[in-house]
A and B are shown apart, each in its own frame.
Chain A
Amino acid sequence: GESVGLHLPTLSVQEGDNSIINCAYSNSASDYFIWYKQESGKGPQFIIDIRSNMDKRQGQRVTVLLNKTVKHLSLQIAATQPGDSAVYFCAESYTGGGNKLTFGTGTQLKVEL
């Protein structure tokens, strides 16, 4: 039969605007979360992480927000640049889970000039 690939949600933003990428996680026991960026033809690259004892963490141009009540994670990118175009994955893990990460399906970010 015909194969069907994953349908990646796509976020299109104008250069210079702020981007917000969302992720819902399922395991209420998860206590560690990471955002990865994957450019075409490359491996996932670490962007920022957050532990469950925090609800916000900031990096250079990026901020991760964690809402444990609704099991929601978001990545905010300030002043989005063309080089930010990529697929962004959230990943979750939990203490006692053996350092395993469970990855989401990803969001394609497209930056328009």
Chain B
Amino acid sequence: DAGVIQSPRHEVTEMGQEVTLRCKPISGHDYLFWYRQTMMRGLELLIYFNNNVPIDDSGMPEDRFSAKMPNASFSTLKIQPSEPRDSAVYFCASSKLAGVQTQYFGPGTRLLVL
């Protein structure tokens, strides 16, 4: 079975540019999570969705970050405009129904903003 799929795997962009990260969760999973990982702050939850609806976006750093989930098989995380401090590895994870369930992570997108 395919796991969580993320694209692109690597992204290098210049400060001020728009960046869009993409995620396809595991089929049948109702929860989708976006995380950011840096050496400074470790693994941070940015936002998560349940049945395509954003439930908690308290981890989103600022208005430059936005996330959408137009359907059960696709989500995007957008940064506009990007800044050097946004450089990090961004992970998408998904899990099954309500109740505390294991989250399965994608391979991540390594973002470098110059």
Binary CB contact string for chain A from 94 to 109 against chain B (1 if under 8 A, 0 otherwise): 1101111101011000
Are A99 and B108 in contact, with the CB atoms below 8 A? no
Are B39 and A44 in contact, with the CB atoms below 8 A? no
Q: Which of B31, B39, B42, B107 sits near A99, CB closer than 8 Å? A: B31
Interchain CA distance A34-B101 in the complex, whole Å? 10
Chain B residues near A15: list those with CB within 8 A.
none
Interchain CA distance A101-B103 in the complex, whole Å? 8
Are A42 and B43 in contact, with the CB atoms below 8 A? no
Q: Which of B4, B40, B48 sits near A6, CB closer than 8 Å? A: B40
Smallest CB-CB separation from A4: which chain B residue?
B40
> By the criterion of a CB under 8 Å from any partner CB, how many residues of chain B are at the interface?
26
Interchain CA distance A98-B107 in the complex, whole Å? 24
Chain B residues near A46: list those with CB within 8 A.
102-104
Binary CB contact string for chain A from 30 to 47 against chain B (1 if under 8 A, 0 otherwise): 011010100000111110
Smallest CB-CB separation from A31: which chain B residue?
B100
Q: How far is the CB of B67 from chain A (nearest CB, A)?
A: 15
Are A6 and B39 in contact, with the CB atoms below 8 A? yes
Q: How far is the CB of A75 from chain B (nearest CB, A)?
A: 15
B99 in the interface (beta carbon within 8 A):
yes
Binary CB contact string for chain A from 12 to 35 against chain B (1 if under 8 A, 0 otherwise): 000000000000000000011010
Are B106 and A43 in contact, with the CB atoms below 8 A? yes
A88 in the interface (beta carbon within 8 A):
no
